[in-house]
Amino acid sequence: MQVTSEQPLDDHVLERRFTLGGIPGILWTPASASASAPVPLILLGHPPLGLRTMYPRLVARALHSAAEGFATATIELPGSGDRPRWPAVDQARADLRRAIEGGDAVSDETVDALVLPLVDKAVPEWQNALDALQSLPDIGGPFGYSGGVISIGVRLAAVEPRIEAACLYAGSFVPRSVFEEARRVTVPLHVLLQWDDEGNDRQAALDLFDAFGSEEKSLHANTGGHTGVPQFAADAAVQFFGRHLR
Amino acid sequence: MQVTSEQPLDDHVLERRFTLGGIPGILWTPASASASAPVPLILLGHPPLGLRTMYPRLVARALHSAAEGFATATIELPGSGDRPRWPAVDQARADLRRAIEGGDAVSDETVDALVLPLVDKAVPEWQNALDALQSLPDIGGPFGYSGGVISIGVRLAAVEPRIEAACLYAGSFVPRSVFEEARRVTVPLHVLLQWDDEGNDRQAALDLFDAFGSEEKSLHANTGGHTGVPQFAADAAVQFFGRHLR
């Protein structure tokens, strides 16, 4: 892990850009974090639109989390941003767009081709990032995961024992096999669903919530459309991590 | 409105028992409430099990609300507690129990007979109570409604303009006509649903949430069974009122 730049965002947060095996990433730590007072870390997931596009929303979540004493970090997804294009996933995305525009049902095959390769490749990368971040003196634990492609969050919560709590955003296509993975998730979960998001399959989101094996799971459904998650819902997500990562 | 007893519950809350047209009720106010600093009021709904039975749960909600600066009040439901029995509703309840124990589907007629007379009678009583409570010098406004038989909450939120925010608990049978009333509700709503409550019709709760006309509505679904609403969900409900009743 190579830190490529380091800058204070305000008096309270330090932003470090890094690369890890060629994958760009960003780490935000509260100024209070130090080797003698290491802080918990939340991995910030995001949709595959590239870190540059997602930066404003990510940094808002990072500042909000830092105010509650949490470090946050994110890495670029495979095929996105400055990483090499990934023709197979580009093709699946084009197929998906064509199906939606044509008013056709989106087939299970299209969803699998779009999502599963991304999950298979991204999850080990997030685990590697966790290895590297965990070794920093000002990062302690425990660790959480928040947001992004929900199927990545499900897999990571199911296979990575260091993830002790996860906040997942319903809203992307979910392969059938991911419902089976969801049954193996046992960590506390906080699931956000934008109820009136027309591009979202609400029933699939409810079915996925039902499938999770976690003893503690909460679904917070709100109005406001796809990108209109209310501020109080973001606050509730941070409160969730406050209960579980301290 | 006649206050029949008055006692401090601790240093922070005053409990006043009252009767209003023969209906028993309880008012809890933060000690800070006064004529020069009147406080908002939340009406505390409850299932028709009698105030005496419900008291421990009600007083817990009252203390929690008082700590956030809210007065709370409740009245006995028709046919419950020390009020005269109501044979028609007792009969409907017996029919319901028989249907459930016999494994039969509960008919719309049984649900209507159980719930609608209760709503028709209770809602004007809660409105009268609001008239009386509003006239007290230490009660200001705005006003909210929280919990209890959800159909009472829906009707009250739909017809009573003084109710500016409502927290509703999914979990009782809902007559079909109440879904139509729900479309006329426009105040901010916070709906609690115990996801793994076997006695609850989850799909009906989701359909009702969908029906509400409110621009701001949130559904918080949690695990823990019928009476196992987690403490953090109770906290979130009080936070909801904090956003809307100050």
Q: Is the pLDDT of residue B175 over 90?
A: yes
| B244 interfaces chain A, CB cutoff of 8 Å | no
List all residues 6 or more positions away from A4 whose beta carbon is below 8 Å from its beta carbon: A17, A18, A19
Q: How confident is the model at residue A3 (pLDDT cuts 50, 70, 90)?
A: very high
**Domains of chain A: total:** 1
Q: Is the pLDDT of residue B166 over 90?
A: yes
Tens-place pLDDT, residues B100-128: 889 888 899 999 999 999 999 999 999 99
CA A158 to CA B142: how far, in whole Å? 46
State what percent of residues in chain A have pLDDT above 70.
Answer: 100
Residue A111 lies in a domain: no
Tens-place pLDDT, residues A113-136: 999 999 999 999 999 999 999 999
CA B237 to CA B190: how far, in whole Å? 7
The reply to whether omega before A142 is within 30° of 0 (cis) is yes
pLDDT value for B69: 96
Q: How confident is the model at residue B10 (pLDDT cuts 50, 70, 90)?
A: confident
Instruction: Please state the rounded mean pLDDT for residues B173-183.
Output: 96
For tokens 């006064």, name the residue.
B34
Q: Which helix (H) or strand (E) holds B99?
A: helix B87-101
List all residues 6 or more positions away from B60 whose beta carbon is below 8 Å from its beta carbon: none
Instruction: Please state the rounded mean pLDDT for residues A235-242.
Output: 96
Q: In this complex, do B230 and A220 lie within 8 Å of one another by their Cβ atoms? A: no
CA A169 to CA A209: how far, in whole Å? 11
pLDDT value for B82: 93
pLDDT value for A13: 97
CA B171 to CA B148: how far, in whole Å? 9
Residue B98 lies in a domain: no
Residue A197 lies in a domain: yes
pLDDT value for A10: 84
CA B24 to CA B2: how far, in whole Å? 10
Q: φ, ψ for residue A117 (rounded to 5)?
A: -60, -35
Domain that holds residue A7: 2-84+122-244
Q: In this complex, do B209 and A232 lie within 8 Å of one another by their Cβ atoms? A: no
CA A233 to CA A226: how far, in whole Å? 13
Which of A186, A195, A197, A240 to mutate to test binding with chain B, by most B CBs within 10 Å of its CB?
Answer: A195
Residue A92 lies in a domain: no
Instruction: Please state the rounded mean pLDDT for residues B196-211.
Output: 92
| B46 interfaces chain A, CB cutoff of 8 Å | no
Query: In A, which residues are within 8 Å of B232 by CB distance?
Result: 218, 239-240, 243
| A1 interfaces chain B, CB cutoff of 8 Å | no
pLDDT value for A103: 86
A155 by Cβ neighbours in 10 Å (0-12 / 13-18 / 19+) ranks as buried
Instruction: Please state the rounded mean pLDDT for residues A225-245.
Output: 94
Q: In this complex, do A230 and B220 lie within 8 Å of one another by their Cβ atoms? A: no
B196 close to B224: Cβ distance less than 8 angstroms:
yes
Question: Of A181, A180, A182, A202, whose CA–CA distance to A192 is shortest?
Answer: A202
List all residues 6 or more positions away from B66 whose beta carbon is below 8 Å from its beta carbon: B12, B13, B28, B29, B30, B72
Q: Which residue of B has its CA nearest to A242?
A: B232
Q: Is the pLDDT of residue A32 over 80?
A: yes
Q: Is the pLDDT of residue B239 over 80?
A: yes
- DSSP class per residue in B130-146: HHHHHTSTTEEEEEEEE
Strand partners, A74: A26
B139 close to B41: Cβ distance less than 8 angstroms:
yes
Q: Is the pLDDT of residue B180 over 80?
A: yes
Residue B95 lies in a domain: no
For tokens 């399959």, name the residue.
A201
Residue B195 lies in a domain: yes
Tens-place pLDDT, residues A149-168: 999 999 999 999 999 999 99
| B233 interfaces chain A, CB cutoff of 8 Å | yes
pLDDT value for B238: 94
Q: In this complex, do A232 and B243 lie within 8 Å of one another by their Cβ atoms? A: yes
Query: In B, which residues are within 8 Å of A222 by CB distance?
Result: 216-219
Distance from CA of A217 to the nearest CA of B (A): 6
B43/B246: higher pLDDT: B43
The end-to-end CA distance of chain A, in Å, is: 26
Residue B203 lies in a domain: yes
Tens-place pLDDT, residues A184-201: 999 999 999 999 998 788
Grouping H, G, I as helix, E, B as strand and the rest as coil, residue B10 is coil
Query: In A, which residues are within 8 Å of B214 by CB distance?
Result: 223
pLDDT value for A84: 96
Tens-place pLDDT, residues A91-120: 998 998 898 888 888 899 999 999 999 999
pLDDT value for B200: 83
Q: Is the pLDDT of residue B93 over 80?
A: yes
Which of B202, B206, B218 to mutate to test binding with chain A, by most A CBs within 10 Å of its CB?
Answer: B218
A30 close to A73: Cβ distance less than 8 angstroms:
no
Q: What is the 3-state secondary structure (H, E, C) of chain A?
A: CEEEEEEECCCCEEEEEEEECCEEEEEEEECCCECCECEEEEEEECCCCCHHHHHHHHHHHHHHHHHCCCEEEEECCCCCCCCCCCHHHHHHHHHHHHHHHCCCCCCHHHHHHHHHHHHHHHHHHHHHHHHHHHCCCCEEEEEEEEECCHHHHHHHHHHCCCEEEEEEECCCCCCHHHHHHHHCCCCCEEEEEECCCCCCCHHHHHHHHHHCCCCCEEEEEECCCCCCCCHHHHHHHHHHHHHHCC
| B172 interfaces chain A, CB cutoff of 8 Å | no
CA B97 to CA B110: how far, in whole Å? 10
pLDDT value for B11: 84
Q: Is the pLDDT of residue B172 over 90?
A: no
Centre a 10 Å sphere on the Cβ of residue A175 and count the other Cβ atoms it contains.
19
CA B85 to CA B92: how far, in whole Å? 13
Q: Report the CATH number at residue A175.
A: 3.40.50.1820
- DSSP class per residue in B173-194: ---HHHHHHHHT--S-EEEEEE
Question: Which member of A209, A210, A223 has the closest CB to residue B217?
Answer: A223
Q: Is the pLDDT of residue B81 over 80?
A: yes
Tens-place pLDDT, residues B131-163: 999 999 999 999 999 999 999 999 999 999 999
Instruction: Please state the rounded mean pLDDT for residues A68-83.
Output: 97
Instruction: Please state the rounded mean pLDDT for residues A18-31.
Output: 97
Residue A94 lies in a domain: no
pLDDT value for A42: 98
Q: How confident is the model at residue A38 (pLDDT cuts 50, 70, 90)?
A: very high
CA B162 to CA B30: how far, in whole Å? 21
State what percent of residues in chain B have pLDDT above 70.
Answer: 100
pLDDT value for B99: 87
- DSSP class per residue in B28-84: EEETT--SSS-EEEEEEE--SS-HHHHHHHHHHHHHHHHHTT-EEEEEPPTTSTTSP
Which of B189, B193, B195 to mutate to test binding with chain A, by most A CBs within 10 Å of its CB?
Answer: B195
